[in-house]
């Protein structure tokens, strides 16, 4: 038998075997990850329902089948210790109230609530840059983060969410954290900027206790979430533009050592109202809220 021909046959056989094994090992998961759950006609139907109720979709979202599970979380004791050690090292006076601990030092005060919320107040405020009014919001945010890192209150692993101005003229910078590769909208940091000074920082940070892979299941589609939201809200008196549809986690704040939070679809309108649709049940988790009501 010709040796070159034999080698060619062996190469073809091994290549075929590798393809066979790859197909059976990886194709089921690959198919699950790339399978499109939302067809174009379904998306058009949802857009029609939205428009008929005076809502308009200005956001894109993942149309593929997505899987998730419940997430068990606890308030971050590690982050609390990290922040409070700074105050203690700087000689802060410690006072105790009903379910609250106060750390006071000149120009700074930390208020630690029993549910894990940390509020830090700066008086008269932390300067970020004398000419910050000339900077873009991106540059201002960068300056804010640099100052807070020096003050040991900027958590590792934060992600910028959005910026908005409140009715008092303050500029609020919001951040979220990521757990189990998804954004957690309950775990949040809010930085308030007033007259070019940081006047307060609210931090509610969570640690992941566990996930249970065996409970992982398919979530409802983004179009189902939108349809359910419209069914709950009814027609909008004014045109409402949907700016964001994002899969993440959200729950209320609890006086508990640990609790489970479900995956949700966060739907944000152009007036900054946030809605959270349970990604398993399709129920509205909480009535529409503006960011300042999250704490």
**What's 252's domain CATH number?**
2.40.128
Place of tokens 């329902």: 49
In a domain, 232, yes or no: yes
H or E segment and range at residue 237? none
pTM, to two decimals: 0.79
pLDDT for position 111: 93
pLDDT for position 26: 39
Among 187, 207, 227, the domain boundary falls at 207
Distance of alpha carbon 120 from alpha carbon 127, whole angstroms: 15
**β-bridge partners, 72:** 210, 260
In a domain, 46, yes or no: yes
pLDDT at 38 over 80: yes
* Residues 203, 79 share a domain: yes
Distance of CA 64 to the CA centre of its chain: 20
Among 157, 180, 207, the domain boundary falls at 207
Distance of alpha carbon 78 from alpha carbon 225, whole angstroms: 35
* Residues 180, 161 share a domain: yes
* Residues 105, 64 share a domain: no
- Contacts with 195 (C-beta within 8 Å, 6 or more apart), sequence order: 125
pLDDT at 13 over 50: no
pLDDT for position 291: 59
* Residues 144, 49 share a domain: no
Q: How many structural domains comprise the chain?
A: 2
When pLDDT is cut at 50, 70 and 90, the band that residue 133 belongs to is low
* Residues 180, 59 share a domain: no
When pLDDT is cut at 50, 70 and 90, the band that residue 109 belongs to is very high
Mean pLDDT of the chain: 82
In a domain, 17, yes or no: no
**β-bridge partners, 127:** 197
153, with CB counted inside 10 A (0-12, 13-18, 19+), is: buried
In a domain, 10, yes or no: no
* Residues 63, 120 share a domain: no
In a domain, 45, yes or no: yes
Q: Structural domain of residue 129, as residue ranges?
A: 75-207
* Residues 263, 228 share a domain: yes
In a domain, 138, yes or no: yes
In a domain, 90, yes or no: yes
Whether cis (ω within 30° of 0) applies to the bond prior to 155 is no
When pLDDT is cut at 50, 70 and 90, the band that residue 165 belongs to is confident
pLDDT for position 187: 77
pLDDT for position 287: 61
Distance of alpha carbon 95 from alpha carbon 107, whole angstroms: 16
* Residues 110, 40 share a domain: no
Q: Determine contact, residues 149/218, Cβ cutoff 8 Å.
A: no
* Residues 115, 61 share a domain: no
* Token reading at 117: 């919320």
When pLDDT is cut at 50, 70 and 90, the band that residue 28 belongs to is very low
Q: Determine contact, residues 253/204, Cβ cutoff 8 Å.
A: yes
171-190: average pLDDT: 90
In a domain, 2, yes or no: no
* Residues 244, 134 share a domain: no
pLDDT for position 36: 55
Q: What is the CATH number of the domain that holds 197?
A: 3.30.310.160
Distance of alpha carbon 142 from alpha carbon 195, whole angstroms: 17
* Token reading at 250: 């959200």
**β-bridge partners, 109:** 104, 121
When pLDDT is cut at 50, 70 and 90, the band that residue 31 belongs to is very low
222-239: average pLDDT: 96
pLDDT at 183 over 90: yes
* Residues 220, 158 share a domain: no
* Residues 121, 86 share a domain: yes
pLDDT for position 43: 93
Among 189, 207, 225, the domain boundary falls at 207
Report in angstroms the alpha-carbon separations of 41 from 47, 48, 50, 52, 225. Answer: 10, 11, 14, 17, 16
Packing angle of the helix pair 40-52, 222-233 (nearest 10 deg): 20
40-89 per-position pLDDT tens digit: 899 999 999 999 999 999 999 888 888 888 889 999 888 888 888 888 88
pLDDT for position 130: 54
* Residues above pLDDT 70, as percent of the chain: 82
Distance of alpha carbon 69 from alpha carbon 180, whole angstroms: 10
243-290 per-position pLDDT tens digit: 999 999 998 777 778 888 899 999 999 988 999 999 999 999 876 565
């Amino acid at each position: 038998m010709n040796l070159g021909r034999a080698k060619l046959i062996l190469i073809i056989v091994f290549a075929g075997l590798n393809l066979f094994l790859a197909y059976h090992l990886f194709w089921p998961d690959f198919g699950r990850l790339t399978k499109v759950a939302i067809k174009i006609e379904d998306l058009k139907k949802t857009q029609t329902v939205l428009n008929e109720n005076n809502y308009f979709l200005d956001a894109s979202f993942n149309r593929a089948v997505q899987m998730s599970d419940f997430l068990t979380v606890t308030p971050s004791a590690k982050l609390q210790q990290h922040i409070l050690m700074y105050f203690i090292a700087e000689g802060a006076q410690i006072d105790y109230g009903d379910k609250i601990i106060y750390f006071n030092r000149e120009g700074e005060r930390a208020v630690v609530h029993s549910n894990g919320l940390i509020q830090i107040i700066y008086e008269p405020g932390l300067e970020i840059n004398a000419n910050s009014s000339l900077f873009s919001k991106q540059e201002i945010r960068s300056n804010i983060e640099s100052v807070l890192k020096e003050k040991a209150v900027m958590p590792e692993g934060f992600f910028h969410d959005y910026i908005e101005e409140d009715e008092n003229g303050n500029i609020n910078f919001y951040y979220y954290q990521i757990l189990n590769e998804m954004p957690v909208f309950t775990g949040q940091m809010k930085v308030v900027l007033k007259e070019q000074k940081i006047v307060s920082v609210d931090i509610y940070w969570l640690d992941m206790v566990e996930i249970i892979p065996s409970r992982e299941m398919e979530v409802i589609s983004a179009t189902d979430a939108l349809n359910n939201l419209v069914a709950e809200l009814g027609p909008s008196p004014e045109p409402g533009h949907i700016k964001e549809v994002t899969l993440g986690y959200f729950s209320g704040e609890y006086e508990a050592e640990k609790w489970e939070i479900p995956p949700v679809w966060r739907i944000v309108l152009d007036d900054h109202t946030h809605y959270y649709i349970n990604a398993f049940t399709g129920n509205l988790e909480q009535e529409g809220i503006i960011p300042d009501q999250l704490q």
